[in-house]
Amino acid sequence: MTDTAPRDPFVRGPAAPDPAALEREVAAALEEDLGPGGMAADVTAALVPAGRRARASLWLREDAVICGQPWAEHVLARLDPSLRIEWTVAEGEACTANTRIARIEGPARPLLAGERAALNLLQTLSGTATETARWVARLQDHHARILDTRKTLPGLRHAQKYAVRIGGGHNHRLGLWDAVLIKENHIAACGSIAAAVQQARTLGAGRWVEVETENLDEVDQALEAGADVIMLDELKTGDRAEAVRRIRGRAISEASGGVSADTLLKVAASGVDYISVGALTKHLRAVDLSLRLDDDR
């Protein structure tokens, strides 16, 4: 136990894409769309004369937070470095419907071949950032902050966690390797919360340790064991507020499980530090974008 508040382990602040992850994600998107043959495999783009150049505009068709510009740029650069994209809005900017967010100029074939991969990434990440911004806005008058989970789209975890931060949210652990989250089945297998936390301290090599709890007795056990973060999993309203009172100053508190737009403020009223929401990355809807060749090409 500690008498002072522990260092907050969750990631916040300015977001920057991980270069290696970005490279992998773009390569996978292009492989999926073009196959092993690369741009030459696009039999539709091949209808366009080889020397044809084009100008295009990228239009936003609904209100949204723009996210994913580095991914779109990387798609075009991999297909043809001479393709130029000029953004008319900033990454993370909240834009209104029917805004032109970019102009693109260069060889027509690679522009058309890369259109879908670039838009898929941009639409998905803008959708994640937009949904996150909605949840964050609901909590503007509360202490609690929004936290993501590992419930991400397969292959896009780094990208979506970046988008959560662009939308104003905070990142939980990236994967199973960078922190210890002791859940019900881990406790049962280890024999007790205390035994599980002790093992985590021995094997975790300095990683922060979180314990999932389902009642006040388990909260007390997690505090006695010295957990850094205590997750309150679907506790009743009164028990949640009491748990936060017991935890405050001794660990970070996180509410999780069954949180919806209708229950969010009730959960926040308990004074909890964080509220984790799987819907940020799991139940998202891609933002409506369209790319159109300009008439003055």
How many whole angstroms separate alpha carbon 212 and alpha carbon 207?
16
Residue length, the chain? Answer: 297
Q: Decide if 183 is catalytic.
A: yes
Q: Which of the following is catalytic: 55, 134, 138, 151?
A: 151
> Sheet harboring 180-182: ordered strands across?
145-147, 274-276, 252-256, 229-233, 209-213, 180-182
Q: Decide if 116 is catalytic.
A: yes
Q: State the DSSP code for 284.
A: -
Instruction: Print burial letters for 10-19: b (CB count within 10 Å at least 16), e (below 16).
Output: bbeeebebee
Could you tell me the two tokens for 258? 């069954």
Q: Decide if 233 is catalytic.
A: yes
Q: State the DSSP code for 269.
A: T
Q: Which of the following is catalytic: 8, 18, 91, 233?
A: 233
Q: Which of the following is catalytic: 42, 131, 212, 218?
A: 212
Q: Which of the following is catalytic: 116, 150, 246, 248?
A: 116
Return the active site residues. 116, 151, 183, 212, 233
